[in-house]
Structure 1
Amino acid sequence: MAFWSGWFGKGSAVATVEPPHAALQSAGGGVTITTSAELEEALRTGAVTASGSVVTPNTSLHEPTVYACVRIRSSIAANMPIDVKRRVDERTRVDASDHWLWKLLRKRPNRWQTPSQFKRMLGAHLLLRGKAYAMKVGSRGMILELIPLHPDRVECVQNEDLSLSYVYTRRDGRKVSLKQSEVFHLVGLTLDGVNGVSCITYQRETIGLSLSMRDHGATVFKNGARVSIVLKHPEKIGKEGLDFLKASLDEYRAGGESEGKALILEEGMDTAPLAMTAEDAQYIESRQFSRTDICMIFGVPPHMVGDTEKSTSFGTGLEQQTQGFLTFTAEDDLTTWEETIARDLIPEEEPDLYVRFNRSALVKGDIKTRWEAYVKALQWGVYSPNKVLELEDENPRPGGDVWYPPPNTAGGDTSNKDNADDPAQTA
């Protein structure tokens, strides 16, 4: 049993009774409220928007566009392989798969999560709260596990000597202090250099408006309040007839079994269809604008979340938008991970060690683009055939460790002539 099991209150021989707030706290994070002033502040601030919707990192995921953006962006680092390498000299790099960091990042970050689960979880925390934390569990200079900490329960403070310290609130309400050397700390957009900015906080009204429109549409369809036809009576209908007509209409539209059936009218009543009202059209248009705004907040092209209303469904337009997403959004996420790992996980006594995401994995699903790049790399002597086989997870072939000379050389390179008698170089 690891020593941190007791630190989290697990594995102890003495049973402890969790306070009533523990269940709620474990479900959605949050902090413990112990005074009336803290309760008043929680009730008055932040979460309630002008539209009336309560917007928190958890409720914002009920908006489909927010959920899609968080899923897409957090999955980039989660699904992309990360390589641990060592600099031998200025031009030579070798894989450091024998280092403990490789196992931590590629195989087992902790005892219950896979690497993709761990990175996706911290990526979602980073997007929704602007920060993500994990406690480092180490021994003898090695980090054995990374234990994710819910960001709502972590308070980060910069000390007078500019170092950082953390206070973690456990589920039972107890507070535990952590040093900067004990925490893996991802930070997104920041205004003070320490705490990340949450897009949910700064864009709460935009997301709240979208949630309100969604709730409005659901209520309309639930109550059947959108008028598609008008009933015309030749004379004035009495109160008894009006009550009977209302009851009949409520029964008709109460369930799905009446869908498509005829409505029986009495006393010479007639129907007339109504076209879509201006309010209906404005509601649909507002929903589209809301999706676009949320995509803009998260830096995701609208077509990636299924909104192709104002863009072509094929061709170079979408390809350029996708490339822009990879260049300006995905690259930002990958760089954040790489630099944070270099700062928090790589020992200072190993400056030659570094990590890098294998960005070539982004074209793994596009076999045409992938093999065109391989052909060019072979033609210009960048890759050998065995290197291509390695990238495709295939076994090397005999004589495949040869680098072909570029087809257009103007410098009269004679390196190929020097290797003419070498079977390994001419295979």
Structure 2
Amino acid sequence: MAFWDRWLGGSSSPAASPRASFQDSGGGVVINTSQQLEEALRTGTLTASGASVTPDKSMRVAAVYAAVRVRCGVVANMPIHIKRRVDDRTREDAVDHPSWKLMRRRPNGWQTPAQFKRMMQAHLILRGNAYALIARSRGEVQSLIPLHPDRVECKQNNDLTLEYTYTRKDGRKIKLAQNEVFHLVGLTLDGVHGVSAITYARETIGLSLTMEDHGASTFRNGARVSTVLKHPGKLGPEGTENLRASLDSFRAGGEKEGKALILEEGMDAAPLAMTAQDAQWIESRKFSRTDIAMFLGVPPHMIGDTEKNTSWGTGIESQTQGFVTFSAEDDLTIWEETINRDLIGDDVDVYARFNRAALVRGDIKARWEAHVKALQWGVSSPNEIRALEDQNPRDGGDVYYDPPNTAGGEKPEKDDGDEPPQTA
């Protein structure tokens, strides 16, 4: 049996009973047994607002999509280095290590590193876990095959090792050992399974989905929930239908938008329910958007909410720094430690490290201010700065300048205070 057939479901082997799982396209749950129905009801995908919330369906909410896109973009676009400790003070790129090729060139046969990291990070945020099969040849890691979290079940054995069960599309279950799975875990309450922010933000997201449906219906019907017409007499079925058709045509907008409604035969019109403005629908949407940003760890201004731009600090810059410190750094640390554990293993001299300086790669002013300070204080040489900017080295560019407070010159003699200093 070919490797890809075994793991990705191309075999015609008899299928085992599949477990209930969310589907990628519609976000629904496949139910095959009464036990699966009980499990689906217990997980509570239906919210108090009446909306069914799943990780895939929640991405239809603009605030959720924006927050996930921002969080994933940081990990996807930041280069990750595989470093080797040469001695206590020297580090070098471990380009000969298999993990270097996976993280910098090609994690598998069809994805780039940015695509792989972005997808895995999205799984981590939306579902609390991200899985990839570690394909090895002669003990060396060759590729990382992403596995959808809804098809993976993780459990801890009596000896405290982890065991994974992957359900293929044909229903067959594949057992995987702990050293065969690259497993990213987010916030966890049991040390094994990550919890999803979507689970705890379900009511807020469900409310947002319901408001979206309400808004679409309201504006589709002329920005009024409903209208009642009062007639002093009695209308027959034909007259009622003609009147309803005329009113619907008027409310459809077009050339009649903004015109007055003319009623005949002493009829009167009155609203039957509150309008969207009366119910402060727009304000409710803003409140929901802020809550979603809080759940997903993104400052509101990054998802388009700039009204409360001091909620994370005194201004946009402070909010952005707060995001880097409390959200992005958390994601980067999860990736680094998981790579060290699952891909590098026992080689203590090799480790993964994101290049955090890339966060200011798009800000040329901040980048060059950092370069100038690194040169002034002897942290970097001119050629090291040029290398960071993808420029070739220059002659004499491997020097390190002395910091300003240690520049040459003898210290003046101490004044004993007997005579005032002489002036020219």
Q: TM-score range by the shorter chain?
A: 0.7 to 0.9
Q: Is the 8 A contact 2:16 2:173 kept in 1?
A: no
Superposed displacement of residue 45, structure 1: 4.0
Q: Does 1:397 align with 2:394?
A: yes
Letter of the aligned partner of 2:33 in structure 1? Answer: T
Matches within 5 A, 1:4-403: 4-10=4-10, 25=23, 27=25, 33-43=31-41, 45-224=43-222, 226=224, 236=232, 239=235, 244-254=242-252, 257-258=254-255, 260=257, 262-263=259-260, 265=262, 267=264, 280=278, 282-311=280-309, 317-348=315-346, 350-403=347-400
Q: Is the 8 A contact 2:20 2:32 kept in 1?
A: no
The residue type paired with residue 65 of structure 1 is A
- With over 3 angstroms needed to count, the CA separation of the structure-2 counterparts of 1:380 and 1:259, relative to structure 1, is farther
Name whichever of 57-66 and 401-410 sits farther off: 401-410
2:397 alignment partner, SS class: coil
Q: Secondary structure at the match of 2:52?
A: coil
Q: Deviations over 1:259-317 (max 9, x none)?
A: 5474562549899999x9686352211111100100000110111000112337xx960
Letter in 1 for 2:343: L
**Partner Cα distance (1:404, 1:44) in 2:** 66
| Whole-angstrom distance in 1 between the partners of 2:133 and 2:124 | 16
Q: TM-score scaled by structure 1?
A: 0.85
Where does residue 404 of structure 2 map in the other structure?
Answer: 407
Q: Which amino acid aligns with 1:374?
A: H
- Does the 8 Å CA contact 1:135/1:149 hold for their aligned counterparts? yes
Structure 2: tracts of 5 or more residues without a match? 411-424
State the AA in 2 paired with 1:358. N
Identity of aligned residues (%): 65
Structure 1 CA distance for aligned equivalents of residues 189 and 223 of structure 2: 46
In the TM superposition, residue 38 of structure 1 has moved relative to its aligned partner by 1.6
- After the TM superposition, which of the residue ranges 26-35 and 52-61 deviates more from structure 2? 26-35
Per mean C-alpha deviation after superposition, the further-off stretch among 303-312 and 172-181 is 303-312
1:136 and 1:30 mapped to 2: Cα distance?
Answer: 29
Q: Which residue of 1 aligns with 2:420?
A: none
The separation in 1 between residues aligned to 2:18 and 2:178, in whole angstroms, is 31
**2:167–2:174 Cα contact (<8 Å) kept:** yes
Separation in 1, partners of 2:250, 2:407: 84
Which deviates the most, 212-221 or 39-48? Answer: 39-48
Pair 21,207 (structure 1): closer, same or farther in 2 beyond 3 Å = same
Contact 1:228 1:273 survives alignment (8 Å): no
Bigger shift: residues 379-388 or 30-39: 30-39
SS in 2 for 1:408: helix
Give a deviation string over 1:360-413, Cα, whole Å, max 9, x none. Answer: 110011111110110010011111111111000111111111111111128989
CA distance in 2, matches of 1:245, 1:377: 78
**CA distance in 2: counterparts of 1:127 and 1:250, whole angstroms:** 44
How far apart are the structure 2 equivalents of 1:56 and 1:178?
A: 26
Structure 1: gaps of 5 or more residues: 414-427
Alignment partners' CA distance in 1, 2:235 and 2:270: 25
Question: Against the structure 1 CA distance between its residues 336 and 412, is the aligned structure 2 distance closer, same or farther, given a 3 Å change threshold?
Answer: farther
- Name whichever of 23-32 and 57-66 sits farther off: 23-32
Distance 2:14 2:390 in 1: 51
Greater displacement, 237-246 / 214-223: 237-246
Deviation at 1:347, TM superposition (A): 3.1
Task: Give, in angstroms, the shift of residue 216 of structure 1.
Answer: 1.1
CA shift in 2, pair 1:159/1:29, >3 Å: farther
Amino acid aligned to 1:344? D
* Matching residue's letter, 1:389: R
Letter in 1 for 2:352: V
Aligned residues: 404
Q: 1:33 to 1:248 in 2, by over 3 A?
A: closer
Q: Measured at CA, do residues 20 and 26 of structure 1 come closer, stay the same or move farther in structure 2, by a change above 3 Å?
A: farther
Give the match's secondary structure for 2:348: coil
Give the stretch that moved more between structures: 284-293 or 220-229: 220-229
Following the alignment from structure 1 to structure 2, what is the Cα–Cα distance between the partners of residues 24 and 230?
A: 43
Structure 1, residues 330-383: CA drift from partner, whole Å, max 9, x if none? 0000000000101110031x2100110001110011111110110010011111
Q: Distance in 2 between matches of 1:108 and 1:77?
A: 16
